[in-house]
Amino acid sequence: MLEVVRFNQWVNPAFDETFVARPDVRLRVRPYEAPRDETLAVLAQANVLQVSAARDELPRPWHVTGELLEHCPRLVCVSSGGAGYDTIDVDACTRAGVAVVNQSGGNAASVAEHTMGLLLAVTHRIAQSDRWLRSHRGFRREALTGREIGGLTIGLVGIGQIGRRVARLAQAFGMQVLATDPYVGADEIELRGATPVTLDELLRRCDVVSVHCPRNAETMKLFAAPQFERMKPGAIFLTTARGGIHDEAALHAALASGHLSGAGLDVWDVEPPPLDSPLLTHDAVVATYHTAGVTAEARRRIAGMAAAQILEVLDGRRPPRLVNPPVWDAYRARYERVLGRAPV
């Protein structure tokens, strides 16, 4: 019997339903609050572990670290429940011969739409108007004068599954699109609908900067005081990527000084951010709670993708969204040792 384990965070039913037709695969759902020793005993038999991609949603003891892997001798794969994988130590998995997979692209349409929603909410002051209308009287409509986005230049920091969709949507609004991405060549960036530029040029030229890169050692605090200072006066900062890529204090300082005119933020250092976060008190900030990818369609799509990919792993096929390709030789050896057969 092949063993798949997930925790009892809500997932779309499509995930669990996929395994019903596979009598050779047992899905086990562990409560977060269960005794640790009991859960470790279950994980000791697991072949695949499915975990949340949101670092503040998954309790720290169940983040996939080198220490946790020591309790999982039969594990061959860790599956992230989203495009990100902040809860998984990818290097530790690679050293152990454990494949890491994600669901890249599963929520890309939702996140791209949310990005444009944040931009419109900032430029047309929709959220601010809503707040004032519920709590204030005596202000003039002109106090909420907005700005059209047609004709503005948007810069995308990362043009993968999400970024390329944002590029198409931005073009539909009549925006010029620039992009920087160290993993995508200039010709391919153009095919994805943007003009390739360096990060410095993007900061200097763009009216809107939108972040769509993964959180890793290279991107942590990629946006700090020097980067915000290099952005155009009056520019807007958007991020639906991950907290930690931008420095929240530096962003607040750039807004408070008037150098930046607004920000749309879906991700935070701590999620949800504390109620006394300075960014939440600034009228030019539109704030959401890491919900860009939380739509009914995206959750259903990701659940189905994750379950299907897990079955591909258990059937010995190479997973289509392998996060750590260098693991492959060690993975093949571990897979054969654990399951008694080699993957394809």
Q: What is the pLDDT of residues 73-83, one digit of tens each?
A: 999 999 999 99
Question: What's the confidence (pLDDT) of residue 299?
Answer: 96
- Residue 152 in contact with residue 175, Cβ under 8 Å? yes
Cα–Cα distance, 85 to 88 (Å, whole number): 6
Rg (CA), the chain: 22
Distance linking the first and last C-alpha atoms of the chain: 20
Cα–Cα–Cα angle for 141, 144, 146, rounded to 5 degrees: 120
Give the three-class secondary structure for 175. Answer: coil
- Residue 301 in contact with residue 279, Cβ under 8 Å? no
Pick the CATH number of 2-105+296-339 from 3.90.180.10, 3.40.50.1360, 3.40.50.1370, 3.40.50.720: 3.40.50.720
Residue with tokens 């890793």: 216
Which element (helix H / strand E) includes 329? helix 328-339
Task: Give whole-number Cα distances, 208 to 44, 126, 145, 158, 335, in Å.
Answer: 48, 17, 18, 14, 47
113 DSSP 8-state letter? H
Strand 285-287 with 260-265, pairing: parallel
The answer to whether domain 108-287 has CATH 3.40.50.720 is: yes
Question: What's the confidence (pLDDT) of residue 13?
Answer: 96
pLDDT tens, position by position, 226-247:
999 999 999 999 999 999 999 9
Known catalytic residues are: 242, 271, 290
Cα–Cα distance, 48 to 3 (Å, whole number): 7
Question: What's the confidence (pLDDT) of residue 344?
Answer: 86
21 DSSP 8-state letter? G
For the chain, which ranges sit under pLDDT 50?
A: none
pLDDT tens, position by position, 313-329:
999 999 999 999 999 99
Residue with tokens 């050896």: 333
The segment(s) of the chain belonging to CATH 3.40.50.720 are 2-105+296-339, 108-287
Question: What's the confidence (pLDDT) of residue 166?
Answer: 98
Query: 19: closest CA among 261, 330, 304, 325?
Result: 304
Which residues are bridge partners to 77 per DSSP?
Answer: 48, 99
Residue with tokens 């539109």: 286
Model confidence, pTM? 0.92
218 DSSP 8-state letter? T
